Amino acid sequence: MSVNKFKYNLGNAFLIILIIEVVFWALAIASYRYLAVNVEEFRFERTAILYGLFFIPFAILIYFYSTNWKNKALKSYASEHLLKYSYFGISSFKSITKFILLRLGLSFIIIAMANPQYGENEKIIESKGIDIMIAIDVSNSMLAEDLANNYSRLKIAKLSIEKLFDKLHGDRIGIVVFAGDAYKQVPITPDYHVAKMFLKNISTGMISSQGTNIGLALEKCVSSFNLEDASNKAIIIFSDGEDHEMEGINAAKEAAEKGIKVYTIGMGTKSGVPIPIYRNGIKTGTKKDQDGNTVLTKLNENYLIDISENGGGSYTRANGLNVGIDGIVNQLNSIEKTTMSQEKYTGYDDQFQPYLLIGILLLLVDFFISDKRNKLNEKFNLFKNHE
């Protein structure tokens, strides 16, 4: 009985592993060069993961270190004369085979994780939506806190508009602020992030001319649209409706004639409430008239309803912090969308699946192979002269 039955043959292991390494890297480099030259848009999605292949030499060193340690352990366990009665022996060939399977399995897993991709797929993404202008009342009456404690009408309107932006997809938006006058705060844009930035800075101090001129706000919104554009359009007005000019109904009719729907949202309650006065962010009192009487503000609901009806839209009344944004979004979504833009992009087909499958199969075979000898090794040992 050969002593090699109780000792791993490191010389043969080194030679076989060296050959496997040379063949593996030669095939890997040749395959990569062929794919890079002959396959259009070939790439690895996560190239950095491929650096994991360079840790394979460390695995080889660990294999030889552990195998050498096993040889010493077997030698110190018992003499060859006693080992043959208590231990059937080891198979250097099976040990090398196990390591090669492990080494190749890990390599294929690493390649799969890097996700090779090829097979160019040009896709066209269409962005569909409508143009929406938001008109926000910034008159002093919007400071009233009759909808919720410590929340002004304006603050609730701004929070609701931000929530509205989060629910829109593909639509272009713009913002007009108004009181006694009206200004375009944000022109029509698909950039919701920019619109949100400007929205946060909106306050009642933006317009010195006090009052609530909804008609002028509607005119400013209409002029903000490109009326030659085929996209459908809508205007949403957030206001308490305390408009003393009363031009909003005619402006809404004119907007509807141009195919623009007008929606109104009533901010406030029908009960008269005082308008707080702030200095440096601190409430110092309430607004008084020339006779020293407290000025009260209340929701002019009928006027806002008339505007929405003449504008072909609908009216929604705020209830506490709930402004009914979901209902408004549903109505906006019911408007026929038009194509805003088309973008082409190149898609890549993932090809990691075969590499992952091969890697898993190699690791499974490695798991079920033992490097111990058995009776089958004695009968069919093709490497008998080498072990």
Per-residue pLDDT tens over the stretch 215-269: 999 999 999 999 888 889 999 999 999 887 778 999 999 999 999 999 999 999 9
CA distance 161 to 328: 11
| pLDDT for the residue 1 | 36
Each residue's pLDDT tens digit, 176-188 = 999 999 999 999 9
| pLDDT for the residue 45 | 85
CA distance 171 to 165: 9
Place of tokens 């490497």: 383
Place of tokens 């009342």: 137
Mean pLDDT lowest among 48-52, 82-86, 107-111 = 82-86
Q: How confident is the model at residue 202 (pLDDT cuts 50, 70, 90)?
A: very high
CA nearest to 278, candidates 177, 147, 185, 150: 150
| pLDDT for the residue 88 | 52
Q: How many CB atoms lie within 10 A of CB 156?
A: 22
Decide if pLDDT at 106 tops 50: yes
Q: How confident is the model at residue 385 (pLDDT cuts 50, 70, 90)?
A: very low
Decide if pLDDT at 144 tops 90: yes
Decide if pLDDT at 142 tops 60: yes
Residue pair 178/220 in contact (Cβ under 8 Å)? The answer is yes
Residue pair 135/176 in contact (Cβ under 8 Å)? The answer is yes
| pLDDT for the residue 189 | 92
Mean pLDDT of 140-151: 92
Mean pLDDT of 151-175: 94
Q: How confident is the model at residue 2 (pLDDT cuts 50, 70, 90)?
A: very low
Mean pLDDT of 13-24: 88
- Higher pLDDT: 375 or 310? It is 310
Decide if pLDDT at 80 tops 70: no
Q: And the tokens for 188?
A: 């029509």
Q: Tell me what the pLDDT averaged over the chain comes to.
A: 84
DSSP 162-212: HHHHHH--S-EEEEEEESSSEEEEEEEES-HHHHHHHHHT--GGG-SS-S-
Task: Report strand pairing: 116-129 vs 338-350.
Answer: antiparallel
| pLDDT for the residue 216 | 95
Decide if pLDDT at 275 tops 80: yes
Mean pLDDT lowest among 32-41, 114-123, 258-267, 316-325 = 114-123
- Higher pLDDT: 50 or 371? It is 50
Each residue's pLDDT tens digit, 332-366 = 988 888 876 656 666 677 888 999 999 999 999 88
| pLDDT for the residue 316 | 95
| pLDDT for the residue 373 | 57
pTM higher than 0.85, yes or no? Answer: no
| pLDDT for the residue 338 | 81
Q: How confident is the model at residue 369 (pLDDT cuts 50, 70, 90)?
A: confident
For each of the domains in the chain, give its residue range(s) and CATH number, in order of start.
3-122+346-386 (no CATH), 131-336 (3.40.50.410)
Q: How confident is the model at residue 372 (pLDDT cuts 50, 70, 90)?
A: low
Percent of the chain with pLDDT over 90: 44
